[in-house]
Amino acid sequence: MQITDMTADQALKSKHRAMWATGDYAAVAADVIPALGPVLSEAVAAGPGQRILDVAAGSGNAAIPAARAGADVVATDLTPELLETGEELAGRHGVTLEWQAADAEALPFAAGAFDTVMSCVGVMFAPHHQVCADEIVRVLRPGGTIGLINWTPQGFIGQMFATMKPYAPPPPPGAQPPPLWGDEAHVRALFGDRVTDVVAQRRMLPVTVFPTAEAFLEFFKRTYGPTIAVYAANSGDPAALAALDEALLDLARRHDLGGGAMEWEYLLVTARTAAAGE
């Protein structure tokens, strides 16, 4: 797949960059989903002698654990503000890694530059899925490892995006829904026969930080870029804002297992790029 309208694409990327710079995604990563990064780092067997690229790394939820395990890590993201926060967090923990602003759809690295490419609920938000998959394969050495964690369409975050969709501006032509990266068949189709040893597991992340549905909604309206953007798009329509509030509160209540505890489903995928002769 090639992106032909570069002006429109640059405008879309600028919009995405600004969206993720709003709120406080680092708080989401640290307070709500901190377990995901270590899960991915372990899944790709991060360790000494391994050069790892974390695509759409955000504030380093997976990159920092991988570096702590001894790997040589490069963390990239479209939004420099998130990388600055990640670098500060890594410094507090005495962890050293490289932070570089980069587009997941145009990675500034040579072919075969990495032993492992991973992404923790990050690459799924780039609009052109096939382009991202192609870039992941390109920068991996033959026999290299792919590790991905993405929210599933059926899980809580996938359903949250479905709930917000009627209130959001229509996506630009060619942009694909982020939760598709949480569908095993979609991911397999993106990589095709360029990978082997594919293992896909649907898992649950326990989330216990929100005592009530109202607490969840307040937190996400304050910290999470996509939620902030949808509310901003409806700022002149009080009825739409009230309906969106109620729809998201209903979603949280339906997923409440008791006492505010929830489980958010994600897909963990590991694979290996085909080596010569495979």
Cβ(122)–Cβ(60) below 8 Å: no
Q: What is the pLDDT of residue 3?
A: 47
Residue 263 to residue 268: CA distance in whole angstroms: 15
Domain boundaries in the chain? 6-206+264-273
Residue 63 to residue 149: CA distance in whole angstroms: 13
CA dihedral 105, 67, 147, 252 (to 10 degrees): -90
Q: What is the pLDDT of residue 75?
A: 98
Please give the CATH topology (third level) of the domain spanning 6-206+264-273. Rossmann fold (3.40.50)
Q: Bin 225: left if φ > 0, else alpha if -120 < ψ < 50, else beta.
A: alpha
Residue 56 to residue 50: CA distance in whole angstroms: 19
Q: Bin 244: left if φ > 0, else alpha if -120 < ψ < 50, else beta.
A: alpha
On whether the pTM is more than 0.85, the answer is yes
pLDDT in tens, 106-134: 999 999 999 999 999 999 999 999 999 99
Q: Which residues does 1 contact at the CB level (< 8 Å), separation at least 6?
A: 128, 130, 131, 134
What would the 3-class secondary structure string for 21-53 be?
HCCCHHHHHHHHCCCHHHHHHHHCCCCCCCEEE
Residue 17 to residue 77: CA distance in whole angstroms: 9
Q: What is the pLDDT of residue 99?
A: 98
Label the pairing between strands 262-273 and 195-207.
antiparallel
Q: How many CB atoms lie within 10 A of CB 48?
A: 8
Supply angle C-alpha 218, 223, 225, rounded to 5.
Answer: 120
Strand order in the sheet with 98-101: 98-101, 72-77, 51-54, 114-120, 140-151, 262-273, 195-207
Q: What is the pLDDT of residue 173?
A: 85
- Which parts of the chain register pLDDT below 50? 1-4
Q: What is the pLDDT of residue 1?
A: 45
Q: What is the pLDDT of residue 5?
A: 62
Element containing residue 81 per DSSP (H, E): helix 80-92
Per-residue DSSP letter, 175:
-
